[in-house]
Amino acid sequence: MTDLAAFRHETREWLEANCPAEMRQPVRSEKDVCWGGRRAVYQPGQKEWMDAMAARGWTVPDWPTEYGGGGLSPAQAKILKEEMAAIGARNPLSSFGISMLGPALLKYGTEAQKLEHLPRIARGEIRWCQGYSEPNAGSDLAGLATSAEDAGDHYVVNGQKVWTSYADKADWIFCLVRTSKESKQGGISFVLFDMESEGVSTRPILLISGYSPFCETFFDDVKVPKANRIHDENKGWDVAKYLLGHEREMISGMGLGQSTGGNPLVEGAIATIGLDESGRLADPMLRAAIAEFDVRARAFAAMSERFIDELKAGRAHPAQPSMMKYAGTELNKQRHELVMAAGGSDALEWESEGSGGGAKARAWLRTKANSIEGGTSEIQLGIIAKRILELPS
Amino acid sequence: MPLYLNDEQAMLRDTAAEFVTEHAPVRHLRALRDADDQTGFSRDLWRQFAEMGFTGILVPEDQGGLGLGHVEAGVVMEAIGRNLSPSPFLSTAVAAVEALKGTAHAARWFRGIAGGETVAALAIDEGAKHTGRVVMAAERSGNGFKLSGTKRSVQHGHVADLILVAAQTGEGVTLFAVEAGAAGLTADPRRLADSSLASELVFDGVEVDADAVIGEVGGGQAVLDRLLAAGRTGASAELLGVGGGAMDMTVDYLKQRKQFGQPIGSFQALQHRAAHLYSEMEIARAAVLKAQQLLDAGDPRAGEATMVAKAMTGLATTLSVQEGIQMHGGIGMTDDYDIGFYMKRARVLAELFGDAGHHADALARASGY
Ligand SMILES: Cc1cc2nc3c(=O)[nH]c(=O)nc-3n(C[C@H](O)[C@H](O)[C@H](O)COP(=O)(O)OP(=O)(O)OC[C@H]3O[C@@H](n4cnc5c(N)ncnc54)[C@H](O)[C@@H]3O)c2cc1C
Ligand SMILES: Cc1cc2nc3c(=O)[nH]c(=O)nc-3n(C[C@H](O)[C@H](O)[C@H](O)COP(=O)(O)OP(=O)(O)OC[C@H]3O[C@@H](n4cnc5c(N)ncnc54)[C@H](O)[C@@H]3O)c2cc1C
């Protein structure tokens, strides 16, 4: 107990001293998120904050220190998170490397693969993208067709991916390829390669939010060394599923926001609508909707805490990330509907300076993807029904 | 503190679940109802609860209890909810104990509660909905007070040994401990939809001594708040049991019942609704544990967490029992089948100490909108 109290004290002092003021502002738009990578363009304070945290291993606090992590116990990691929230510190680095590939490498990578990739992920040097979906393999992901032909020490990869978020900005890709046609799930392998490899091309696709392009990604005789395959040949589905669990866990927490520092939804509503004489929001229907949402959001915050605690203690059901993903993303969509309802015509602005370039409208539209990306809500419900409730097929 | 039950709490949960399932399953409620029982619960069962140590969970060790917290009381409440067991546990062992703790009344009542002899009732509501408002008056009279007015929806009010009453004295709200049989006190028990009994209590100039005051004269709001926080958290845990029990029955039924040559649980339209229901119940469970842990830690955030717990369990359990009946089809509408009992109990608990709307509103006010 005293050890943890001492850790909390030291952490608080260190964060106070090292978190730049710019990094204690709420994240307003996607531009405020630090993704790292070879071609990153940093805002003031972003790189210093990332580097300072990375030097302590705190971009990935619970990874082992030999792979660039902080080696923290679950209790310590929780304290770090709480102390960061207490000063409104931004996440120093968001990355598919941390939230998705890292855990999969830790479980399935060879020692050489871990040493090669994990520290660079922790330091934000390499930005990763995810090559899973294809034009005819979305919800039915295992139906993917991108082929990898055996050419001795390497594979030759041909095919097309779609909806590859930030493929045009990423340095490396983790990619599912077909190494055998004999079995649907049993013919998939999981490979890593540099997006600058010959034969890789990307074409951005604009989203309804007007930003955050994801891409069509094409592979034309791309050479991928076999040393870059994670886990056995044709066993990639295991890695893919394990990684998806982590992706779902990450998406479930998106937009939940930090527990301190007020409630932007309520503040926005008060600003546009105002309070009546009794101190209540002057639109009773909207007030009721926000109040019920508040109940659900706070209950979900407790669920997130419980889920992380159970996960760290090895007590969570393996399909529980599906429930978190489902509930968290539906809630986040609801939050942004309320933000739009509270904002009225102000929230509709798309380009003006005052609206932050249409931040509210764009964020609202972006959240609609939350219940699609990483496996749709319908797919999550199916997983819960079959794997947790054990309903028959 | 991690947000799951520790090993001792999990053990207590298993013990409570096993005990209540064996001694007071839904059959027990049915038997009381069919016999037109006028007590509303079984005194024998209450004594057995005491033998198990349950009734003294929140009672300090030096006063004959186990000195445990709301997490532990909650696991018993959940077992009660899951089995729809009629019991004065919530009003007596949770709410009353919390209100009397640290007051001069503790010595008078705790041994009886821990021993399974004493039953307490809470006379705090005056209308059809819980508002928290206290209008009933207590006038000074002699060295004590004279209570006049009517309280409603008092569970176990007609059989309780001890009745906690909130009334206005000139100084503000004061909470009184009134003993059964006081002159001028009459109880009119009414059967509710869930076949429990709740009384209208009429106080017609009921005289009490000054030492009937719990805590300070005019300082009753703080005691009432403590009582309500405990009561609401306990009711949330009971709702969790009711909703969880209904959900499990329903999921089992989906696996058994065949239509169109298949178990209906294989139909995606039902699978997705069952999965959604599961999510809601899990989230409610987390909210309840959070409130219990914060209460036990004396954390100032406990108040809001309690509102969240009561509102969220109200929403989730209402969904659970409604989906339960619907997915059972025609059989769910029959008295023979248990699912309807869950529906009725959930409705009563949802109203108790403020419904989901009441608590969402309170949360909004606490958050400044
Ligand atoms: C913003 C965004 C970013 C993304 N980023 C990436 C990325 O970086 N990398 C990547 O590989 N992919 C990415 N994706 C792709 C994402 O994983 C897929 O969109 C998702 O898996 C759904 O596939 P689909 O779009 O082909 O929809 P479909 O599979 O065609 O589904 C269409 C509709 O049918 C429903 N449906 C399908 N099958 C069933 C079923 N069996 N039961 C019930 N309903 C069903 C779905 O739920 C959905 O509502 C991203 C998507 C979005 C929107
Ligand atoms: C009060 C009452 C009065 C009635 N009176 C009469 C009467 O006078 N005469 C008479 O003949 N009948 C009567 N009925 C029977 C009524 O028509 C049936 O209850 C109804 O058709 C449903 O059948 P079931 O109860 O067997 O439910 P089931 O068919 O077992 O259905 C159980 C659940 O599964 C769902 N389900 C079943 N199949 C599917 C599917 N393929 N996809 C999705 N969901 C599915 C149902 O919607 C339901 O929620 C009465 C029922 C009630 C409750």
Q: Is the pLDDT of residue B200 over 60?
A: yes
Asked whether A113 and A146 are in contact (CB, 8 A), the reply is: no
| Average pLDDT rounded to a whole number, residues B289-299 | 98
A312 Cα distance to chain centroid: 18
Structure tokens at A8: 């909390």
Ligand 1 atom at shortest distance from the alpha carbon of A140: 29
Non-local CB neighbours of B201 within 8 Å, separated by 6+ positions: B123, B150, B151, B152, B154, B157, B163, B185, B186, B187, B188
Comparing A7 with A251, the larger pLDDT belongs to A7
What pLDDT band is residue A255 in, cutting at 50, 70 and 90? Answer: low
In angstroms, the Cα distances linking A343 to A25, A283, A361 are 21, 12, 10
Compare CB distances from B255 to A288, A378, A391 and report the shortest one's residue. Answer: A391
The whole-number pLDDT of residue A28 equals 76
Q: Of A329, A391, A336, nearest to A360 (Cα)?
A: A336
Q: What is the tens place of the pLDDT at every residue in A331-359?
A: 999 999 999 999 999 999 999 999 989 99
Structure tokens at B153: 């929806």
The whole-number pLDDT of residue A253 equals 72
Q: Is the pLDDT of residue A206 over 60?
A: yes
Q: How far apart are CA A280 and CA B5, in angstroms?
A: 38
Structure tokens at A98: 């941390």
In angstroms, the Cα distances linking B263 to A263, B250, B268, B332 are 46, 13, 11, 17
In angstroms, the Cα distances linking A98 to A21, A29, A53, B325 are 24, 20, 14, 45
Q: How far apart are CA B202 and CA B191, in angstroms?
A: 17
The whole-number pLDDT of residue A212 equals 73
Among A260, A292, A386, the residue to mutate for chain B (most B Cβ within 10 A): A292
Nearest CA to ligand 1 atom 41: A379
Q: Is the pLDDT of residue A141 over 60?
A: yes
Rg of chain B in Å (alpha carbons): 21
Q: What is the mean pLDDT of chain A?
A: 94
Task: Report the percentage of chain B scoring pLDDT > 70.
Answer: 100
Q: Of A249, A256, A253, A248, nearest to A372 (Cα)?
A: A248
Q: Do B369 and A327 touch (CB under 8 A)?
A: no
What pLDDT band is residue A254 in, cutting at 50, 70 and 90? Answer: low
Q: Is the pLDDT of residue A239 over 80?
A: yes
Torsion of CA B238, B243, B249, B255, to 10 degrees: -150
Give the total residue count for chain B: 369
Structure tokens at A45: 């304070």
Residue from A83, A247, A249, A373 carrying the catalytic annotation: A247
The whole-number pLDDT of residue B81 equals 98
Q: Do A295 and B307 touch (CB under 8 A)?
A: yes
- Residue A50's Cβ-count burial label (10 Å; 0-12, 13-18, 19+) is buried
Q: Is the pLDDT of residue B136 over 60?
A: yes
Q: How far apart are CA A385 and CA A168, in angstroms?
A: 37
| Average pLDDT rounded to a whole number, residues A309-337 | 94
- The string over A213-234, giving b where at least 16 C-beta atoms fall within 10 Å of a residue's C-beta and e elsewhere, is bbbbbbbeebebeeebbbbebb
The whole-number pLDDT of residue A159 equals 98
Three-state DSSP string of chain A = CHHHHHHHHHHHHHHHHHCCHHHHCCCCCHHHCCCCCCCCCCCCCHHHHHHHHHHCCCCCCCCCHHHCCCCCCHHHHHHHHHHHHHCCCCCCCCCHHHHHHHHHHHHHCCHHHHHHHHHHHHCCCCCEEEECCECCECCCHHHCCCEEEEECCEEEEEEEEEEEECCCCCCEEEEEEECCCCCCHHHEEEEEEECCCCCEEEEEECCCCCCCCEEEEEEEEEEEEHHHEECCCCCHHHHHHHHHHHHHHHHHCCCCCCCCCCCHHHHHHHHHHCECCCCCECCHHHHHHHHHHHHHHHHHHHHHHHHHHHHHCCCCCCCHHHHHHHHHHHHHHHHHHHHHHHHCHHHHCCCCCCCCCCHHHHHHHHHCCCCCCCCCHHHHHHHHHHHHCCCCC
Chain A positions touching B289 (Cβ under 8 A) are 302, 306
The whole-number pLDDT of residue A257 equals 44
Q: How far apart are CA B102 and CA A192, in angstroms?
A: 65
pTM of structure = 0.95
A247 is catalytic: yes
Q: Do A302 and B287 touch (CB under 8 A)?
A: yes
Pocket probe for ligand 1: among A247, A251, A373, A380, the residue whose CB has the most ligand atoms within 8 Å is A373
Q: Is the pLDDT of residue A258 over 60?
A: no
- DSSP 8-state assignment for residue B285: H
Q: What is the tens place of the pLDDT at every residue in A223-233?
A: 999 999 999 99
Chain B positions touching A294 (Cβ under 8 A) are 360, 363-364, 367
- Residue A289's Cβ-count burial label (10 Å; 0-12, 13-18, 19+) is middle
Q: Is the pLDDT of residue B239 over 60?
A: yes
Q: How far apart are CA B323 and CA B320, in angstroms?
A: 5
Q: How far apart are CA B169 and CA B151, in angstroms?
A: 16
DSSP states along B14-25: HHHHHHHHHHS-
The whole-number pLDDT of residue A259 equals 42
Torsion of CA A117, A119, A123, A128, to 10 degrees: 20
Give the number of beta-carbon pairs within 8 Å between A and B: 143
Rg of chain A in Å (alpha carbons): 22
- Residue A279's Cβ-count burial label (10 Å; 0-12, 13-18, 19+) is exposed
Structure tokens at B110: 């705790």
d(CA A78, nearest CA chain B) in Å: 10
B7 Cα distance to chain centroid: 25
Give yes or no for A288 touching B (CB within 8 A). yes
Task: Report the percentage of chain A scoring pLDDT > 70.
Answer: 97
Nearest CA to ligand 1 atom 31: A139
Among A389, A390, A393, the residue to mutate for chain B (most B Cβ within 10 A): A389
- Ligand 1 contacts CB of residue A219 (under 6 A): no
Q: Of B347, B342, B343, nearest to B84 (Cα)?
A: B342
- Residue A137 Cα, ligand 1 centroid: separation in angstroms? 8
Q: What is residue B79's three-state secondary structure?
A: helix
The whole-number pLDDT of residue A256 equals 54
Q: Is the pLDDT of residue B284 over 80?
A: yes
What interhelical angle do A264-273 and A320-343 show, nearest 10? 20
What pLDDT band is residue A260 in, cutting at 50, 70 and 90? Answer: very low
Q: How far apart are CA A259 and CA B305, in angstroms?
A: 13
Torsion of CA B245, B249, B252, B257, to 10 degrees: -170
Pocket probe for ligand 1: among A133, A134, A217, the residue whose CB has the most ligand atoms within 8 Å is A133
- Residue B327's Cβ-count burial label (10 Å; 0-12, 13-18, 19+) is buried
B257 Cα distance to chain centroid: 34
Q: What is the tens place of the pLDDT at every residue in B3-59?
A: 999 999 999 999 999 999 999 999 999 999 999 999 999 999 999 999 999 999 999
